[in-house]
Amino acid sequence: MEINLKLRPAALDDVGKLFGLIQALAEYEKLAHAVTGSVEALQEHLFGSHPYVEAIIAEYDGETAGFALFFPNYSTFLTQPGIYLEDLFVLPKYRRQGIGKEILGYLAKLTVERGYGRLEWSVLDWNSDAITFYERMGAEVLPDWRICRVTGESLNKLSIFL
């Protein structure tokens, strides 16, 4: 059975679809209330004068099936840049068809082609299906690391701390 899957860098006319996928991801993670951004901000951050992120669109039989959004990071221990995968999402009706595996493979190849030292991401601890999938793909889930985040008013307070 031939899979009609196409992975490609996001284009300017994909921004609306991409934002819709971000909203679908937030709903899946029960975090729809946390989406406070806009299509316009996403467009600026992907394609503006100073792009901050990159995205890949997955199309299955000509339909948008998923995406990955990522940006460069840096490892002081490796003294090499890397790719941080912020989000990988495949719409439920397209799951279990190898799309997530293909997206990770695409990003791994991109990481190697750029001469980067690692590809990394976070996964929610309750998402056992994703954890199992990532481990099958060769990822090491680091149990002793926790994400620290400062946003909103806490970020404002910290910015004037000193």
Question: What's 33's domain CATH number?
Answer: 3.40.630.30
List of residues 6+ apart from 90 with CB closer than 8 A: 58, 65, 66, 99, 100, 103
The single residue of 60, 94, 116, 134 carrying the catalytic annotation is: 134
The predicted structure's pLDDT at residue 1? 44
Percent of the chain scoring above 90 in pLDDT:
81
- Any idea which of 30-44, 47-61, 91-105, 140-154 has the lowest mean pLDDT? 140-154
Number of domains in the chain: 1
pLDDT tens for 16-74 read 999 999 999 999 999 999 999 999 999 999 999 999 999 999 999 999 999 999 999 99
Are the CB atoms for 35 and 26 separated by under 8 Å? yes
Residue 99 has pLDDT above 80, yes or no: yes
Neighbouring residues of 110: CB distance < 8 A, sequence distance ≥ 6: 83
Of residues 67, 61, 59, the one with CA closest to residue 6: 59
pLDDT at residue 145, rounded to an integer = 87
Whole-number Å distance between alpha carbons of 60 and 56: 13
Based on the residue annotation, tell me whether 134 is a catalytic residue of this protein: yes
This prediction's pTM: 0.91
Could you list the residue range(s) of the whole structural domain that residue 65 is in? 5-159
Burial 10-32 (b: 16+ CB within 10 A, else e): beeebbeebbebbebbbeeeeee
